Amino acid sequence: MKKGENEKIEIELLLQAILLKYGYDFRTYAKSSLKRRIMRRLSLSGIKTISEMQHRVLNDVNFFETLLLDFSINVTQMFRDPFFYKALREDIVPALRNQPAIKVWHAGCATGEEVYSMAILLKEEGLYNKSRIYATDFNEKVLKISKEGIYPIDRIKDYTRNYIQSGGRSSFADYYRARYDFVKMDSSLRKNVVFADHNLVTDSVFGEMDLIVCRNVLIYFNRELQNRVFKLFFDSLSDEGFLCLGSKETVKYSDLSDDFKAIAKGQRIYRKENHQTSKARIRDKKTQVKDEV
Ligand SMILES: C[S@@+](CC[C@H](N)C(=O)[O-])C[C@H]1O[C@@H](n2cnc3c(N)ncnc32)[C@H](O)[C@@H]1O
């Protein structure tokens, strides 16, 4: 048997061990990315083989938590991809404006920067008071940072630039207080946010959302898991609700490609297509035409 085949089996066994011992299921994550993370952790921790790593994972919860952080990749930014936020302001906010209440779900929110970005945007558009934001991730460590809203001060220069490019209407400095090497986001931005543990692999539908933001999460999933998550989002969205993905993610080749319509040029923003409503609309139109004739 070739080395590559053994390695594949060892990785399967490692993932199986993690599932049985800790309940986290990584078996449907993209294998190439997982393998990179495993190899990196092998060389950093001086462990010689993946089988040895499996033994360590089973017997050392701290090591498992390190591996969980490796697997979940928590890189994020405030107003990441500023033109996405610009498109949100210009193309989505007008549709949300007339709603009596707005429900937003950030799935895979990592350390929360995109949640605070959304809160700022909604505040500036005069919509925050009627909004409720659900910020979820399956990693408790990053959720804790989200809740605290404390970030290293050396990131603020980039975040301020992003904020300005995104069409921010105020001064970014209005939204945080600096203390030594950190900034703390204004507590008013957290007022309408609920932080919760939610695993996209195993947990279920999340309310009647008007807007779901799940950016830079699905790239780590294989096609099967992506389809599951798209179905979960479809079921969690209100009629004609919006789904926002990262710049490298798309619903185009998924099982639900007909159920979402791309609506913002150059951005991965989709509107849920309700075929029942669309059919009814066509039927109404036909009846109307008949009546007119
Ligand atoms: C690269 S970060 C993206 C953060 C943010 N959405 C952004 O675009 O900047 C990916 C996040 O997805 C989370 N994640 C990965 N698998 C998940 C799962 N099965 N359920 C919930 N969150 C998951 C990770 O913990 C991580 O915080």
| pLDDT tens column, 140-152 | 999 999 999 999 9
Q: What is the pLDDT of residue 75?
A: 93
pLDDT tens per residue across span 203-247: 999 889 999 999 999 999 999 999 999 999 999 999 999 999 999
**Counting atoms of ligand 1 from 1, which one is nearest the CA of 246?**
8
pLDDT tens per residue across span 272-288: 997 765 555 445 555 55
Q: What is the pLDDT of residue 276?
A: 62
Instruction: Tell me the CA–centroid distance for residue 282 and ligand 1, in Å.
Output: 39
Q: How confident is the model at residue 161 (pLDDT cuts 50, 70, 90)?
A: very high
* Protein residue with least CA distance to atom 3, ligand 1: 216
| Cβ-proximal residues to 63 (8 Å cutoff; 6+ apart), any chain | 45, 56, 57
Q: Measure the CA–CA gap between 111 and 135, rounded to whole angstroms.
A: 10
How would you class 178 by CB atoms within 10 Å of its CB: exposed for 0-12, middle for 13-18, buried for 19 or more? exposed
Q: Measure the CA–CA gap between 249 and 153, rounded to whole angstroms.
A: 30
Q: What percent of the chain has pLDDT over 70?
A: 93
Q: Give the position of tokens 């779900």.
A: 105
Question: Residues 38, 14: contact at Cβ < 8 Å?
Answer: yes
**Counting atoms of ligand 1 from 1, which one is nearest the CA of 139?**
25
Q: What is the pLDDT of residue 243?
A: 98
Q: What is the pLDDT of residue 1?
A: 58
- Structure tokens belonging to residue 217: 């999460």
Q: What is the pLDDT of residue 72?
A: 87
Question: Residues 151, 183: contact at Cβ < 8 Å?
Answer: yes
**Counting atoms of ligand 1 from 1, which one is nearest the CA of 75?**
1
DSSP string, the chain: --HHHHHHHHHHHHHHHHHHHH----TTB-HHHHHHHHHHHHHHHT---HHHHHHHHHH-HHHHHHHHHHHH-----TTSSHHHHHHIIIIIHHHHHT-SSEEEEEES-TTSHHHHHHHHHHHHTT-GGGEEEEEEES-HHHHHHHHHTEEEGGGHHHHHHHHHHTT--S-GGGGEEEETTEEEE-GGGTTTEEEEE--TTT----S-EEEEEE-SSGGGB-HHHHHHHHHHHHHHEEEEEEEEE-TT--STTSTTGGGEEE-STTS-EEEE--HHHHHHHHHHHHHHHHHH-
Q: What is the pLDDT of residue 274?
A: 77
* Protein residue with least CA distance to atom 14, ligand 1: 108
Question: Residues 243, 267: contact at Cβ < 8 Å?
Answer: no
Residue type, 291: D
Residue range 50-76: mean pLDDT, rounded: 95
Domains delineated in the chain: 3-72 (no CATH), 82-149+185-276 (3.40.50.150)
Q: What is the pLDDT of residue 291?
A: 46
Q: How confident is the model at residue 292 (pLDDT cuts 50, 70, 90)?
A: very low
Q: What is the pLDDT of residue 3?
A: 74
Q: What is the pLDDT of residue 32?
A: 94
Residue range 43-55: mean pLDDT, rounded: 95
- Does the structure show a pLDDT above 50 at 269? yes
* Protein residue with least CA distance to atom 9, ligand 1: 76
Measuring CA to CA, how many Å separate 34 from each of 62, 68, 105? 19, 11, 26
- Does the structure show a pLDDT above 50 at 101? yes
Confirm or reject: Cβ of 41 under 6 Å from ligand 1.
no
Instruction: Tell me the CA–centroid distance for residue 11 and ligand 1, in Å.
Output: 21
Q: What is the pLDDT of residue 289?
A: 46
DSSP string, 174-195: GGEEEETTEEEE-GGGTTTEEE
Q: Give the position of tokens 């429900």.
A: 103
Instruction: Tell me the CA–centroid distance for residue 232 and ligand 1, in Å.
Output: 16
Residue type, 144: K
